[in-house]
């Protein structure tokens, strides 16, 4: 009798904007033997990430800040049997109950070298403008565990890129984005693979 097919780990992506990082993740895990992107969630009805999810055949839906605070996000994750959560340009603070359930299984990507240029208000172009204003010789990305505080979780991975003094904030943003697309999907893959290997029978278990 043939053995059961391994259960793939179910990954959710949360994003608020256009979703280029989310698309890089969806492309990376398309037809992956051990991981599937099972849902894309956004707090903005017109977010570009929703169209990207549709193109990749990934279920997607939206929720309001209030609904999230009232438990909608946690219910969605539970009903969809999500194992891992990746934040990719998600601008809302994740509720404490979601952090509690997904501690050690939820990561965020930040477009700077934390702990510099992190915290409330430091997102998107605001980060790159601050880096430019400070005359930094380099910037980069940080992947870190999600906690109840913005950008304060333990750092998982960082990658740097040199900046030219002539680079403006847009050029800095583009250099950092290229790093994000190159590294975030593979960092996620490694984290999820390590988690699966630690399970009792070596197979991912869906659900919270």
Report the percent of the chain where pLDDT is more than 70. 93
Q: What is the pLDDT of residue 199?
A: 77
User: pTM of this prediction?
Assistant: 0.93
**Residues labelled as active-site residues:** 110
User: Considering the chain, what is the average pLDDT of its residues?
Assistant: 93
Average pLDDT over residues 71-90: 97
pLDDT at 202 over 70: no
CB atoms within 10 A of CB 184: 23
Contact indicator for 126, 173 with CB cutoff of 8 Å: no
d(CA 25, CA 34): 14
DSSP element (H, E) containing 64? none
Structure tokens of 122? 């430091």
CATH fit for domain 9-198, picks 3.40.50.170, 3.20.20.80, 3.40.50.1820, 3.40.640.10: 3.40.50.170
DSSP 90-134: --SPPPHHHHHHHTTSEEEEESS-TTTT-STT--THHHHHHHHHH
DSSP state letter for 6: P
**CB neighbours of 207 closer than 8 A, spacing ≥ 6?**
78, 81, 83
Per residue in 59-68, pLDDT (tens digit) is 999 999 999 9
pLDDT over 50 (residue 1): no
Question: By three-state DSSP, how is residue 49 classified?
Answer: helix
Which band of pLDDT confidence, cut at 50, 70 and 90, is reported for residue 203?
A: low
- Determine contact, residues 83/205, Cβ cutoff 8 Å: yes
pLDDT band for position 200 (cuts 50, 70, 90):
confident
Q: Give the per-residue pLDDT at 66.
A: 97
Mean pLDDT in residue range 100-128? 96
């Amino acid at each position: 009798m043939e053995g059961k097919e391994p259960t793939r780990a179910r990954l959710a992506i949360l994003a608020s904007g256009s979703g280029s990082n989310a698309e890089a993740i969806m492309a990376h895990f398309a037809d992956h033997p051990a991981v599937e992107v099972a849902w894309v969630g956004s707090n903005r009805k017109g977010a570009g990430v929703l169209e990207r999810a549709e193109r990749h055949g990934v279920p997607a839906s939206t929720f309001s800040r209030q609904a999230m605070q009232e438990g909608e996000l946690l219910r969605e994750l539970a009903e969809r049997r999500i194992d891992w959560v990746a934040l990719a340009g998600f601008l809302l603070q994740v509720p404490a109950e979601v952090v509690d359930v997904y501690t050690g299984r939820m990561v965020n990507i930040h477009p700077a070298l934390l702990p510099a240029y992190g915290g409330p208000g430091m997102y998107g172009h605001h980060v790159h403008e601050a880096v430019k204003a400070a005359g930094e010789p380099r910037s980069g990305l940080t992947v870190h565990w999600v906690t109840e505080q913005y950008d304060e979780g333990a750092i998982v991975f960082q990658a740097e890129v040199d900046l030219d003094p002539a680079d403006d904030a847009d050029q800095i943003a583009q250099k950092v984005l290229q790093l994000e697309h190159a590294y975030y999907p593979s960092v996620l893959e490694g984290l999820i693979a390590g988690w699966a290997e630690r399970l009792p029978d070596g197979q991912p278990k869906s659900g919270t």
